[in-house]
Homo-oligomer: A and B are copies of this chain.
Amino acid sequence: MEHTETLTRYMAKFVQGLVEAGVRDVVISPGSRSTPIAMTCAEYDEINHWVNLDERSAAFFALGMAKERRRPVALVCTSGTAAANYYPAVIEAFYSRIPLVVLTADRPHELRDVGAPQSIEQLNLYGEYVKWFHDLALPEGSEKMLQYAKTTAGRAVQEAILGNDGPVQINLPLREPLIPDFTLPGLWEADSATKERSPVIGKRAIDRGYLDSLIEKLKGFSKGLIVCGPQMDPVLGEALAYLAKRIGAPVLADPLSQLRANKYEKNNIIETYDAILKHDEIKQTLQPEFIIRFGAMPVSKPYLQWLTSLNAPLHFIVEPEAGYREPAGVETTAIYADPVIFAEQLAERLDQPIVENSWLETWKNMNQIAKDLLLAESPEEGMNEGHAVVKLAEVIPDQSILYVGNSMPIRDVDTFFMTTPKAVDIMANRGANGIDGVVSAALGTGANGKPVTLLIGDLSFFHDMNGLLIAKQKNLNITVVLINNDGGGIFSYLPQASHPEHYEELFGTPMGIEFQPFVEAYGGSYCLAESWDEYTNALAESYVSSGLSVIEVRTRREENVPYHRAKWESVKEAIGKQLKG
């Protein structure tokens, strides 16, 4: 078989292997060395291809897409530093357990480590941040090697989703000439598209004996808590609602737990624990005897600090597959089990509530008090970050996604986004909590057509403005609420703020740029919302318009801090009174 035919058939098999294992989308960044794999993906109808120029943005775009579709997404780039630009998203994917299949084109072996142009050492480029790495053999035309290309592609997908989901890398050495010939007969297997070879993976289930002994242990106590941190399983909400009802416990629900939205029963959901647990006196009053945590550690720092001060006799962490996520440094028992099955089985085996009703009622009362105060409009004039979330929660559409930036926005959503019957998937980059790549990740979640609202600060928006290009090119729908406090708002809450000498330069970091021209250059519509009416009108309009809409909310860092502190103070006072009374 001559070179071009070998190359073409090998690549065709490889891409079919990806598709049969469950990949439906590939995000391609342009380049020369990657021509065979890029063109094959573009040629094969069973896989959607997306072109995203900046590899850093491309990888976060793929991450968002994989998150929303809950299936692995492939990435293709050329050789050299292109692949290194994927690194931030690969790390985020590793920690947030999102399956990405990274395909890096490479020079062939004879051009490695000899100073050839645009060639770097690409083996194990992502170190321990990929779950699996393979250096593909150079294309060969034998039946055996064509089969190898296909099974290896499938293997990569399998490795990405077995155990905790995560990224994998296949490095593809390719020799010139690089152009495949798609006129060759018999390139595509006839039934490939309908084959579904994605692996069948059993879920961890706990035996009944342990469940019974666990219930016996829990029965020794009456103050229990269910906690749910960031997690992506859309049906866990229902299972936990059932468990909470049967066991009688309040559920501290992180904004990324998927428990604050949707039509589940939410009687026991406590959304405001972050505000409640900011106060030492209240913290000391609340001494749970057992905690069962699902998902990752919650976003709330007060919760983390409270944990370290507690001495709960029983503390369980339910992990679906593997991993260790307990940064408070307290003693816990890990339960490696499918959270939905575990919650349901535990609930079913309970004959009566374990948690005393007064404990549940205390939490529910505190929550109601805090909610009323947090949702109330501030008497002061002007826009602020907290109420921007309250208003957003009112108008955000059903069946949509809210993507939340790190630093302040995720904390504001934690504080101000309460339960809603609307099916709003709240997502964020909480694997490594970076401010990078957030625009692209949000756009990726919306690539499938679901409406997306991105709530993001100015620094984070700036960091990934390149991500907006694909919004323009593909006319993707996205509503961006840009909270512009001209710099790093979060530092105003930290001790750095009391050191004026280096503060603005190192932490405040005002950029002093206007965002309107950037948004418009990317074909977006821009609105500066200076009142809550303007804000909600602009939001409503953005949801019926196509393309990119950016609604900027300008807030002043020096006003936000007192605003938030006053809210928290009022929560403290009201709850303190209630606890005493």
Contact = CB atoms under 8 A, between A and B. Distances in A.
A54 B466 CA distance: 12
Interface string A161-195: 00000000000000001110000000000000000
B85 A81 contact: no
A80 B495 contact: no
Given A43-B502, A51-B506, A84 B80 contact: no
Contacts of A432: 80-81, 118-120
Contacts of A465: 465-466
A296 interface: yes
B499 A179 contact: yes
- Copies of this chain in the oligomer: 2
A364 B130 CA distance: 54
Nearest to A516: B521
Contact of A462 (B51, B85, B325, B466): B466
A42 interface: yes
B80 A115 contact: no
Contacts of A177: 495
Interface string A22-55: 0000001010100100110011000000010111
A229 to B, nearest CB: 9
A466 to B, nearest CB: 7
Interface in A414-452: 430, 432-434, 436-437
Given A82-B434, A469-B513, A518-B518, 19 more contacts: A35-B496, A39-B499, A53-B463, A81-B87, A81-B91, A85-B436, A111-B327, A114-B324, A115-B323, A117-B297, A117-B299, A120-B432, A121-B128, A124-B127, A179-B499, A463-B466, A466-B466, A513-B521, A514-B521
24 contacts: A30-B459, A30-B506, A32-B496, A39-B506, A42-B502, A42-B505, A53-B462, A55-B436, A80-B433, A82-B436, A85-B87, A110-B329, A114-B329, A115-B324, A115-B326, A117-B327, A117-B433, A127-B127, A178-B496, A462-B466, A469-B511, A473-B512, A518-B518, A518-B521
Interface of A: 28, 30, 32, 35, 38-39, 42-43, 51, 53-56, 80-82, 84-85, 87-88, 90-92, 95, 110-111, 113-121, 124-125, 127-129, 177-179, 296-297, 299, 323-327, 329, 406, 430, 432-434, 436-437, 459, 462-463, 465-466, 469, 472-473, 488, 490-491, 494-496, 499, 502, 505-507, 509, 511-514, 517-518, 520-522
